[in-house]
A and B are shown apart, each in its own frame.
Chain A
Amino acid sequence: MTTLGHLGYWATVALLMTGLYIVIARGHLVKKLVGLGLFQSSVYLLYIVPGKLVGGTSPIVDQGARVYSNPLPHVLILTAIVVGVATLAVGLALAVRIREAYGTVEEDEILAADDHDG
């Protein structure tokens, strides 16, 4: 029961570690950004999952409903999603500029070019 109840957390940890692994292990700059996106989305899950209660309704005062879900995490995560989109946009823009300047988006080739520059 506990394991199942913690399903949201397990998913969070899985996304977190997968994303981090991709950022570290991949050499392709765009793939790294995909990993970064996964890494960030784990946080969305961490916040949203506990906001939902079994049988809870939208937080609108009503005669029948007694249990309300917490709307605040959703609002917070909307902000975080916007931040994530902006980060991805800046990251991709940098990847495009790096491609223009180096002719490649592979990390090892960029490092080799930098070493060559001295």
Chain B
Amino acid sequence: MLLAHLPILIVVLPLVAAPLVVLVRHGGVGWAVALGVSAASTAMSVAVLAEVPGTGVLSYAIGSWEPPWGIEYRIDAGNALVALLVSAVATIVLPAAKRTVLLEVGADREYLFYALFLLCLCGLLGIALTGDAFNVFVFLEISSLATYALIALGRDRRALTAAYQYLLLGTIGATLYVIGVGLLYLVTGTLNFADMAQRLPAVVDRRPVIAGLAFITVGMGLKAAIFPLHAWLPNAYAHAPSAVSAFLAATATKVSLYVMMRVYYSVIGAPTAFGAEPTGAILMALSIAALLVGSGAAIVQRDLRLMLAFSSVGQIGYITLGISLASAAGMTAAMAHLINHGLTKGALFLLVAGVALRLGGTRFEQIAGLGRTMPITSFAIVIGGLSLIGVPGTAGFASKWALVVAAIGAGLWWVAAIVLASSLLALAYVWKFVEAAYLSAPPAGAPARGEAPADVTVPALVLTAAVVAFGLHATPVLEASSRAASAFLRGWP
């Protein structure tokens, strides 16, 4: 009985918990509730993922209003995986959040932080699971509004301007998405993704469809920080509270990328999106620019967080490159990198949270000699960095290798070459960290040798261990990604 309602429970649980946390007005309770809800969402996501074997689709009619009239939650191997990533990262980040939030946000506003965190989680999960185009917009705004407030809680006043800038660009992105959905709605008369997919082929006038495709691409591109629409990302990630950086870097842009995949493959269909229209070529050009500019800009940063944020811009390029190949292999690589990069960046931002906690900052002159002052954290950051480069034995290698193979399979040798060359840029910025941590002496007045408190370090190390485990044994991620890719390519008939 309860099992049948899992799709909606995953989303409703955090939504209901958030106002309760506000009513209780207690930081510790808020944290415990948030952790419990995230863990429950993770467990339910696992159950749902197990429910949708290979070809299955789980459909849930909200309020028993049959689709396409009512709102439908429609889950296949693709979005179940995204929901699992979001809820699992939330569950791992929250234990580390307790201490950093108390320090950065303050005890008086602690409970509000967890209420916002739950709303953000609810929004991201909702985007992932819903099968309704307008519902995506509503959840997008729930998660975005919570995100703006979360970023504004950051340590110094630059967090406020970062949040404001993100609010402007995020709202423009969401509005462009709604315009695109509106155009598709005008020609199909439906908002249900699956129903829309069925009606689109019969549409005579293609122009609104193409315009809708373009609006959705730009709108979601803004939310996903696809180059050159990434201007909001570096400052938002660098100045947000540490726990928020870790959670958002691992999940927020990934969910928007998922919506793009869904619209391209399940709604518009690959023949139109990539055959008749040059979406693939445009996306590929932007991805390649992202690889080079994002990683290049990461090299010149003077702050470890900003460096990681710019590296995200580059890494998102690998995911969109996989999408642009419009093949099963490309989509598998995109999904695998979506997960692997989420884990890697989550781990890195949590490790950096520990560094900031002990050293009071993350500028390169502050973290000099980190290999001596915080040896375990420093070593784990290097492992995460190796995954960003794509060194064998780390998760980043498995998905990047899949991407190179997919590019070669499509006959695009030069793209494969650029992917490999961009890894050298990643090597350059990771080396910058190694140089600061291991080849420089600690600054005067550096704290004695020791790690950040265990509640921050252990979650970070768990994610780092996952990066190594999925690097040495890549099959689970690659198989899940391949199932997800075939679910996307098959669409929702």
Give the interface of A toward B (CB within 8 A). 16, 20, 23, 29, 32, 36, 39-40, 42-43, 46-47, 50, 76, 79-80, 83, 86-87, 90-91, 94-95, 97-98, 101-102, 110, 114, 117
B100 to chain A, nearest CB (A): 21
> Complex Cα distance A110/B145, Å?
23
> Complex Cα distance A80/B179, Å?
11
In order of increasing CB-CB distance, the 5 nearest A-B pairs are A101-B157, A83-B141, A94-B164, A98-B160, A46-B182
Q: Which residue of A lies closest to B363 (CB)?
A: A118
Question: In the complex, which residues of chain B have a beta carbon less than 8 angstroms from the beta carbon of A83?
Answer: 137-138, 141
> How does the 8 Å CB contact mask read for B136-178 relative to A, with 1 for contact and 0 for none?
0110010001001100100011101101100110011001001
Question: In the complex, which residues of chain A have a beta carbon less than 8 angstroms from the beta carbon of B148?
Answer: 90, 94
Question: In the complex, which residues of chain A have a beta carbon less than 8 angstroms from the beta carbon of B164?
Answer: 29, 91, 94-95, 98
> Complex Cα distance A33/B152, Å?
17
> Complex Cα distance A42/B171, Å?
13
Do residues B163 and A94 form an inter-chain contact, with CB atoms below 8 A? Answer: yes
Do residues B161 and A40 form an inter-chain contact, with CB atoms below 8 A? Answer: no
Q: Which residue of B lies closest to A89 (CB)?
A: B145
Q: Which residue of B lies closest to A36 (CB)?
A: B171
A68 to chain B, nearest CB (A): 13
Do residues B168 and A43 form an inter-chain contact, with CB atoms below 8 A? Answer: no
Specify which of B141, B167, B185 is in contact with A91 (CB 8 Å cutoff).
Answer: B167
A95 to chain B, nearest CB (A): 7
Do residues A90 and B186 form an inter-chain contact, with CB atoms below 8 A? Answer: no
B134 close to A (CB within 8 Å) = yes
Question: In the complex, which residues of chain A have a beta carbon less than 8 angstroms from the beta carbon of B175?
Answer: 39-40, 43
Do residues A32 and B138 form an inter-chain contact, with CB atoms below 8 A? Answer: no
Do residues A101 and B160 form an inter-chain contact, with CB atoms below 8 A? Answer: yes
Do residues A97 and B182 form an inter-chain contact, with CB atoms below 8 A? Answer: no
Q: A94-B148, A101-B157 are in contact. Are A87 and B179 (CB under 8 A)?
A: no
Q: A80-B178, A90-B148 are in contact. Are A36 and B172 (CB under 8 A)?
A: yes
Q: A47-B182, A83-B141, A114-B161 are in contact. Are A23 and B149 (CB under 8 A)?
A: no
Do residues B179 and A39 form an inter-chain contact, with CB atoms below 8 A? Answer: no
Question: In the complex, which residues of chain B have a beta carbon less than 8 angstroms from the beta carbon of A110?
Answer: 161
Question: In the complex, which residues of chain B have a beta carbon less than 8 angstroms from the beta carbon of A76?
Answer: 134, 191
> Complex Cα distance A116/B178, Å?
39
A-B contact sample (7 more), CB < 8 A, given A29-B164, A101-B157: A32-B168, A39-B172, A43-B182, A80-B178, A90-B148, A91-B168, A97-B152
Give the interface of B toward A (CB within 8 A). 134, 137-138, 141, 145, 148-149, 152, 156-158, 160-161, 163-164, 167-168, 171-172, 175, 178-179, 182, 185-186, 191
Question: In the complex, which residues of chain A have a beta carbon less than 8 angstroms from the beta carbon of B161?
Answer: 98, 110, 114
Q: A23-B172, A90-B149 are in contact. Are A50 and B186 (CB under 8 A)?
A: yes
Q: A94-B152, A98-B164, A102-B157 are in contact. Are A86 and B141 (CB under 8 A)?
A: yes
Q: A43-B175, A87-B171, A94-B148 are in contact. Are A117 and B160 (CB under 8 A)?
A: no
Interface centre among A32, A43, A94, A95 (most CB of B within 10 A): A94
Specify which of A20, A43, A50 is in contact with B178 (CB 8 Å cutoff).
Answer: A43
A and B contact pairs by CB, cutoff 8 A, 25 listed = A16-B179, A20-B172, A23-B168, A23-B172, A32-B168, A39-B171, A43-B178, A43-B182, A47-B182, A50-B186, A76-B134, A83-B141, A86-B145, A87-B141, A87-B145, A90-B167, A94-B152, A94-B163, A95-B164, A97-B152, A98-B157, A98-B161, A102-B157, A110-B161, A114-B161
Question: In the complex, which residues of chain A have a beta carbon less than 8 angstroms from the beta carbon of B141?
Answer: 83, 86-87
A77 to chain B, nearest CB (A): 10
B172 to chain A, nearest CB (A): 7
Q: Which residue of B lies closest to A46 (CB)?
A: B182
Q: Which residue of B lies closest to A96 (CB)?
A: B160
B231 to chain A, nearest CB (A): 12
> Complex Cα distance A76/B161, Å?
31
Question: In the complex, which residues of chain B have a beta carbon less than 8 angstroms from the beta carbon of A40?
Answer: 171, 175
Question: In the complex, which residues of chain A have a beta carbon less than 8 angstroms from the beta carbon of B134?
Answer: 76, 79
Q: Which residue of B lies closest to A86 (CB)?
A: B145
> Complex Cα distance A98/B148, Å?
14
B444 to chain A, nearest CB (A): 20
> Complex Cα distance A39/B134, Å?
18
> Complex Cα distance A39/B161, Å?
21
> Complex Cα distance A36/B148, Å?
16
> Complex Cα distance A90/B167, Å?
8
Q: A47-B182, A83-B141, A86-B145 are in contact. Are A94 and B157 (CB under 8 A)?
A: no
Interface centre among B160, B163, B175, B191 (most CB of A within 10 A): B175
Question: In the complex, which residues of chain A have a beta carbon less than 8 angstroms from the beta carbon of B158?
Answer: 114, 117
Question: In the complex, which residues of chain B have a beta carbon less than 8 angstroms from the beta carbon of A91?
Answer: 164, 167-168, 171
Question: In the complex, which residues of chain B have a beta carbon less than 8 angstroms from the beta carbon of A36?
Answer: 168, 171-172
Q: A79-B138, A80-B178 are in contact. Are A97 and B171 (CB under 8 A)?
A: no
